[in-house]
Amino acid sequence: MPHDDESPSAKPEPRPEPRPQAQPDHQPGPVPSLDAMLADLEELVTCESYSADHAAVGRSAQVVAAQGRRLLGASPRTLVTEGITHVLWTFGTPRILLLGHHDTVWPTGSLATHPWSVEQGVARGPGVFDMKAGLVQMFHGLASLPSLDGLCVLVTGDEETGSDTSRGLIEDLARRCAATFVLEPSAPGGALKTSRKGVSLYDITVHGRAAHSGLEPEKGVNAATELAHQLLALQGVAEAVTASTGPGTTVTPTVLRAGTTSNTVPARAELSVDVRVPTAAAQEAVDRLVKGLEPQNPAARLQIDGGPNRPPLAADASRKLFALAAEEAVWLGLGPLAQTAVGGASDGNYTAGAGCPTLDGLGAVGDGAHADHEHVLTATMPDRARLLARLVGAVR
C-alpha cells in the first residue's frame, strides 16, 4: 500500500455521465507558450527516470511535482510504494482522471548516447515521446483552465514495468470518475488510441535432470529439448484461440535460457511468453490453455507462472469520448482527428477494465517509443494541450 495514509477510499461513488454541453470553463484559454513547454520538457527529459532505478524515479517525481505545483497551483501528494514514487493531485470530488507516467525504459546514463536536443522542430532524448512530452502538455493544458475542480491527476512511476504498485490506485480512482484521459503518446499522425489489446505474461520453467552429455546422456532429462516441444505447443495455443474467439491473438516466446555447460544435459530451461489479446474471452482462453500445458517427456516437470496482466481496452470504452474529441478538434481548427487500435497496452487498459470510459493517446505527436529514433514534433505540443483542455471542459 502507499506510504501516504490518505490513499483514496476503495468505496466507489456513483459514476455520473459525461456532460458534453458547453460549460463556463469550456472556452479555450490562451495558447500555451511553446518555449515554456520546451523548457519544462528539457527539465523532465534531462532528469532520467529508468523504471528499475528507484532513486532516479524518485528524483524525477520531485521534478514532476514541482512543475505541477507551479502550473496547477497546488502541491501534490507523493505516494511511495515498494520504493517507487507516484505523484497525485486531487481537486474537489473527482469526475475526470488524467493519467500518465514519468518512468521510462531508458537505463540511467542514456543521456550520454541520446542527449536532449531540439533541432528543426524535433525534440529528442530518452523518454521524450513516451511520455514526458505528454506530461508537459497535460500541465500546460490544465493551467489554461479557470478551474480545476473535479479533476484528479495521477503520474505513476512504474507503468513501463506493468504498474504492479500503482494498479490498485489507478483502478480505485477510475471507478469513481466519469472519464479517463491518458496522456500516452499518440499513434502515427497524431491518431488517438481507441482500442488496445490486453496483455498476459507467462514464465515457463522446465525441470529436467542433469547428466554428462558424453558419458551417459541417457541418464539425463533434457530440459532444453522439452522446452522445444513447449514452443511448438504455444503455437498451437495461438491457433486454437484464434479459431474459437476470432483473429488478433498473438502468443510470442521472447526470452529463452537453458543449460550450464557444453557437456552437460540441461537440467533446467526457462521461457518468457508475451501474449496480446483483442478480447477478454481470448485472454481467458489463452490462460486456460497455457496453464494446461503438459510435458511430452513424463520425466520432465513444467512450472508455469504468470497470467493476465492488463485487460483489453475495448473500442466501446472510447467511442463517445473520441466523438467528443473529434468535435473539439474541429472547433479548434485542428482538422480531422484520427483514431486507431494498437497492440501495445497502457494504464488505460486498467481504467477501461474498471468500467471508466477511457480515451488514450492524447499525448505527444512523434515516433520511436523505446527506440533510438524516439522524438516529438514540437509544433504540435500547444495544440494538443489546447485539445486536452477543451475535452476536460466538455466532459466536466
User: Where is the domain boundary, 310, 327, 348?
Assistant: 310
Statement to judge: residues 104 and 215 lie in one domain: no
Residues written for the chain: 396
pLDDT at 27: 58
Q: Which residues pair with 358 in a beta bridge?
A: 180
Statement to judge: residues 120 and 34 lie in one domain: yes
User: Where is the domain boundary, 284, 310, 336?
Assistant: 310
Does residue 7 fall inside a structural domain? Answer: no
Three-class DSSP category at 120: coil
The tens digit of pLDDT for each residue in 230-255 reads 999 999 999 999 999 999 999 999 99
| Whole-number average pLDDT of the chain | 92
What is the residue range of 233's domain? Answer: 198-310
- Residues 361-373: b if buried by 16+ CB within 10 A, e if exposed: bbbbbbbebeeee
What CATH code is carried by the domain that includes residue 68? 3.40.630.10
The tens digit of pLDDT for each residue in 2-32 reads 344 333 333 334 444 444 444 444 555 677 8
Which is the catalytic residue, given 42, 103, 160, 184? 103
Terminal C-alpha separation, the chain: 30
Statement to judge: residues 178 and 244 lie in one domain: no
| Contact (Cβ atoms closer than 8 angstroms) between residue 290 and residue 202 | yes
Which is the catalytic residue, given 42, 159, 347, 367? 159
Three-class DSSP category at 290: helix
C-alpha cell at 382: 500547444
Does residue 129 fall inside a structural domain? Answer: yes
Query: Would residue 159 show up in a list of annotated catalytic residues for this protein?
Result: yes
Pairing, β 84-90 against β 77-81: antiparallel
Stretches in the chain below the pLDDT threshold 70: 1-29
Query: Would residue 328 show up in a list of annotated catalytic residues for this protein?
Result: no
**Count of structural domains, the chain:** 2
What CATH code is carried by the domain that includes residue 221? 3.30.70.360
